[in-house]
Amino acid sequence: MRSYPLWTRRDVLRMTGLAGLGLAAASCAEEPESPGEDADAAAESPSPAFTEPTARLSGSLSILMWSHFVPSHDEWFDQFTREWGEQVGVNVTVDHIDVAGVPARIAAELSAGQGHDLMQYIAPLAQFEPSVLDLADVTEEANNRYGEQLEICRKSSFNPTTGKFYAFGPGWVPDPGNFRRSMWEPVGLTDGPRTWDELLEGGSEIMATQGVQLGIGMSQEIDSNMAGRALMWSFGASIQDENENVVLNSPETVAAVEYMVRLFQGAMTDEVFSWNAASNNQGMVAGKLSYILNSISAYRTSQETNPDIANDTLFVPALEGPETALAAQHVMYNWLVPQHATNPDAAKEFLLHYTANLESAAYHSKLYDFPAWDGLVPNLKAWLEDDPFGSQPADKLAFLADSTDWATNIGHPGPANTAEGEVFGLPIIPNMFARAARGEVTPDQAVADATAEVDAIFAKWRARGLIGGGG
Amino acid sequence: MTQATTATRPPATPATGRRRLADREGPLASLFLLPAVVYVVALVGVPFVLAIGFAFSDVTAGDPSYDWAGLDAYRRVFDDPVFWQALRNTLVFTGVSMVLIVVFGKVLANILIADFRGKWLVRFLVLLPWTTPVALSTVSWLWLLDSIFSPIDWLLRQVGLLEGNMYWLGRPSLATASVIAVHVWRLVPLAAVIIMAGLIAIPRDIDEAARVDGAGFWRRMFEVTIPLTMPLIAVAALFGAIFTFTDMAVVYVLTRGGPTNSTQVLASWAFVRGIEGGDVAQGAAIALFLFPLLLAAAVLILRAVRRMQVM
């Protein structure tokens, strides 16, 4: 379905060169505002694809979504939705709000029974299942067009107990390790840590010799929730099993907590207890952290604000633990169509149109967004191997092409169900690690206390018939 | 008298319905009060009744349908150690803040009634923390107390009092102190203005008589000024307590209740449980624990105001 640009790259460059001849002197004196705004990158920008809706559309469509961490994405998205609306005769409005306010806004609108027709968030929204439409038809249509949806996205939008697609998950974002080569080189790990043991040894040595800590958050925020799960999974622990039974209180979880205590004592400071979702980005951009678990957004920011640090920042996949190497997705796009939506047909058609243009979404998010269907962004691998947004070296993001091998969903090895959603919305897991790291309780006690909280949440949702297990 | 009464009567023209209403104080008073009553009922009364209803239901953020659940939500609340920690924190934050607000408010009020150049500019600047939206001013404090870039830390390092960082929001004791400090910072101006009104109202001759009798500064303070302004000091204390007790913005913006829930308060925990966790019933049950103390505070305020009127 992808349409090809009318002009070749050579044409664009030639025209750009001629048109810009009179401004050459001024242009030479200016730097592009971002790596993506140079001529080469603009020439590679994908063209929008348009598929005629299956039914005639009219009326209006209102969309609620987050303000993307990469601002160029929102500029593209707003224009993209406006053009689609004009093509199909629908008046589209898009409201971007701060990511932290999205769940509360969705909850308020669902309670009021009115508001936006289409809602998006960056984590699974299973807890809203009773108030949203089943999007099985949209997912099925996308599968028909593009093949089988990635399991990580399917498990983050489908409830196997009720058989309902409470959300549509067209994309996700990997969560690799970001490290500073100049700091890890002196401790003999030029290519960064590859295992949790190397992270502990190398990070502690950097802390001792260079006075720079690493940053695995243990605060009451979303990134700490992700990091804690990555550590647990790599140690063979999890909150639930594949049948949605709580299995948190295990020797593997205790081992993961004990490891975190050692990591905190050797390589971190009390700073990690005070973080919000942006803190590890800020610390990395400022050059104050040797390693963080994050998407590439911090790196993209430093490319613009501190190129020296950006060039010194490299990436590693999920760290290998005693059991495996797994990381949570950094972002999991969940699109909801609430029961109160006044134009659900337009909402579903828009989702399919958006899915057909995920290549543009990936490009304009500067390779932050990844698609839920392999092959839907045919240029992704090439872009990762030769970053059009100015990475030095140009292939530093190439490893992300295999990120589905080491990324998994919230709720692993089970689905991202309502109980996992509530646990994820609360600081239970970060506090489990933090209480032990601070010496407030033993690792065994921290795990036992967290399990008591998790048990109560799972029992509540199981009684409502929204999750399985318990047999 | 008769003439005056006759003179103020309306002209002897046929009375219209509109004029009769304008002349009747009872209906007119009700009419003028109606917007305030509607406002209070719609924005306080209805949510309050809803909260009571939700607390005995199984309502969640994703399922607003109402099913009676009895005391289930309360049982879950009582079994949750974080709730008890939040209740304890709420009382500690309120108590400590209230004392500091009154002490600093009194000091500031004394300064503001003194005569000096630029008094009006100082009064304007002092009132800024109170007039600035809480969330906005707290974001400023978030940066001031940042773990890496805190200007306070930088200043302490420059004068040689600190090596490294304090991690104001990363250590439970410092995080607690930070939350209390921000509450005191934003509410002291309000207390100062209230107390200032009382200080200005004290007749000058009482103070002069005390001076003639040989009373020094501290004796006049504790035996003349404070007793005469006590009702207003009580009002300032109670306003400070109410605003601290019910506020979730300071905690939510600064610490989100951390580290390890050590700064969690009832209002923030109700929001985390009810909205972020999606358990609206439990969130409502937690929030209702604010009510008894607020009711007691309101009664005390009204009594203090009545005493003030008697004076």
Range of the domain at B260: 76-310
> Per the domain annotation, does B168 fall within a domain?
yes
SS (H, E, C) chain A: CCCCCCCCHHHHHHHHHHHCHHHHHHHHHCCCCCHHHCHHHHHHCCCCCCCCCCCCCCCEEEEEEECCCCHHHHHHHHHHHHHHHHHHCCEEEEEEECHHHHHHHHHHHHHHCCCCCEEEECCCCHHHHHHECCCHHHHHHHHHHHCCCCHHHHCCCEECCCCEECCECCEEECCCEEEEHHHHHHHCCCCCCCEHHHHHHHHHHHHHHHCCEEECCCCCCHHHHHHHHHHHHHCCCCCECCCCCECCCCHHHHHHHHHHHHHHHHHCCHHHHCCCCCHHHHHHHCCCEEEEECCCHHHHHHHHHCHHHHHHEEEECCCECCCCCCEECCEECEEECECCCCCHHHHHHHHHHHHHCHHHHHHHCCCCCEECCCCCCCCHHHHHHCCCCCCCCCCCCHHHHHHHHCEECCCCCCCCCHHHHHHHHCCHHHHHHHHHHCCCCCHHHHHHHHHHHHHHHHHHHHHCCCCCCCC
Name beta bridge partners: B82: none
Cα of A44 to nearest chain B Cα, Å = 39
Instruction: Name the residue among B62, B79, B170 with its Cβ closest to that of A270.
Output: B170
pLDDT higher than 90, residue A277: no
Alpha-carbon gap: A419 to the closest alpha carbon of chain B (Å): 9
Phi, psi of B76 (to 5 degrees): -65, -35
Q: Residue A215 in contact with residue A292, Cβ under 8 Å?
A: yes
Q: Of all residues in chain B, what percent carry a pLDDT higher than 90?
A: 62
Among the listed residues A219, A121, A430, the one whose alpha carbon sits nearest the alpha carbon of residue B61: A121
A-chain CB neighbours of B272 within 8 Å are: 425-427
Nearest to B258 among A129, A273, A449 (CB): A273
* Mean pLDDT of the region B234-256: 92
CA distance B138 to chain A (A): 14
> What is the rounded distance in angstroms from the CA atom of residue A280 to the CA atom of residue A268?
12
Least confident stretch, A29-33, A452-456, B238-242 = A29-33
Whether residues A270 and B167 touch (CB distance < 8 A) is answered with: yes
CB contact under 8 A, A271 and B58: no
In-domain check, residue B233: yes
Chain B, residues 55-84, CB within 8 A of chain A, namely 58, 60-65, 76, 79-81
Instruction: Report which of A343, A345, A375, A344 is spatially closest to residue A359, judged by C-alpha positions.
Output: A375
Specify if B47 maps to a domain.
no
Cα–Cα distance between B283 and B265 in angstroms, integer? 12
Residues of A in contact with B275 (CB under 8 A): 103-104, 107
Structural domains in chain A, CATH included, are 60-173+331-402 (3.40.190.10), 177-329+407-463 (3.40.190.10)
Is B256 a member of any domain?
A: yes
Residues of chain A with Cβ-Cβ distance to B147 below 8 Å are 269-271, 274-275, 279
Report cis status (omega within 30 of 0) of the bond before B203: no
Instruction: Note whether residue B15 is domain-resident.
Output: no
Collect all residues with Cβ–Cβ distance below 8 Å to A203 and sequence separation of at least 6.
Answer: A193, A213, A214, A263, A266, A267, A268, A290, A291
- pLDDT, tens digit (0-9, with 9 covering 90-100), for B144-175: 999 888 999 999 999 999 988 899 999 999 99
Residues A430 and A365: their CA atoms lie apart, in Å, by 29
CB-based contact B61 A219, cutoff 8 Å: no
**Is A424:A410 a contact under the CB 8 Å cutoff?**
yes
Interface test with B, best of A270, A276, A455 (most B CBs within 10 A): A270
- A387 in contact with B, Cβ within 8 Å: no
Which of B64, B170, B278 faces A273 most closely, judged by CB atoms?
B170
Q: What pLDDT was estimated at residue A10?
A: 52
The answer to the question of residue B66 being in a domain is no
Residues of A in contact with B279 (CB under 8 A): 422, 460
Q: Is B171 on the interface with A (CB under 8 A)?
A: yes
Residues 6+ apart with CB under 8 A from A104: B275, B276
Contact across the interface for A219 and B62, Cβ inside 8 Å:
no
CB pairs under 8 A between A and B: 121
**In terms of pLDDT, which residue wins out, A30 or A42?**
A42
Cα(A35)–Cα(A175) distance, integer angstroms: 22
Residue B53, in any domain of the structure: no
Would you say A390 and A303 are in contact if contact means Cβ atoms under 8 Å apart?
Answer: yes
Average of per-residue pLDDT across A387-392: 94
pLDDT score for B19: 64
**Structural domain includes residue B69:** no
Q: Which residue out of B60, B80, B167, B252 would a mutagenesis test of the A interface target, given it has the greatest number of A Cβ atoms within 10 Å?
A: B60
Domain count, chain B: 1
Give the amino acid at B170: G
Query: pLDDT grade, residue B6 (50/70/90)?
Result: very low
Task: Tell me whether A111 touches chain B (CB under 8 Å).
Answer: yes
Residue B119: what pLDDT?
86
Q: Please write the tens of the pLDDT for every residue from A162-215.
A: 999 999 999 999 999 999 999 999 999 999 999 999 999 999 999 999 999 999
Tens of pLDDT along B46-79? 999 999 999 999 999 888 889 999 999 999 999 9
Distance of alpha carbon A102 from alpha carbon B240, whole angstroms: 31
Any A CB within 8 A of B163 CB = no
Chain B neighbors of A218, CB-CB under 8 A: 259
Query: Hey, how many other C-beta atoms are within 10 angstroms of the C-beta on A456?
Result: 15
Taking the C-alpha atoms of residue B65 and residue B84, their distance in angstroms, rounded to an integer, is 29
- Chain A residues in contact with B150 (beta carbon < 8 A): none
B interface test, pick of A166, A220, A420 with most B CB neighbours within 10 Å: A220
Structure tokens at B288: 């209702």
Note the pLDDT tens digit of each residue in B200-209.
999 989 989 9
CATH assignment of the domain containing B233: 1.10.3720.10
**Cβ–Cβ gap B261/A427 under 8 Å:** yes
Q: Which residues of B touch A275 (CB under 8 A)?
A: 147
Higher pLDDT, residue B29 or B294: B29
A111, A274, A422 ranked by CB distance to B167: nearest: A274
8 Å CB contact between A235 and A318: no
pLDDT tier, A54 (very low <50, low <70, confident <90, very high otherwise): confident
pLDDT digits (tens, 9 = 90+) for B77-93: 999 999 999 999 999 99
Give pLDDT, residue B195.
94
Beta strands at A313-316 and A334-336: parallel, antiparallel or unpaired: unpaired
Local structure of residue B163 (DSSP, 8 states): S
- What confidence category does residue B294 fall into, taking pLDDT thresholds of 50, 70 and 90? confident
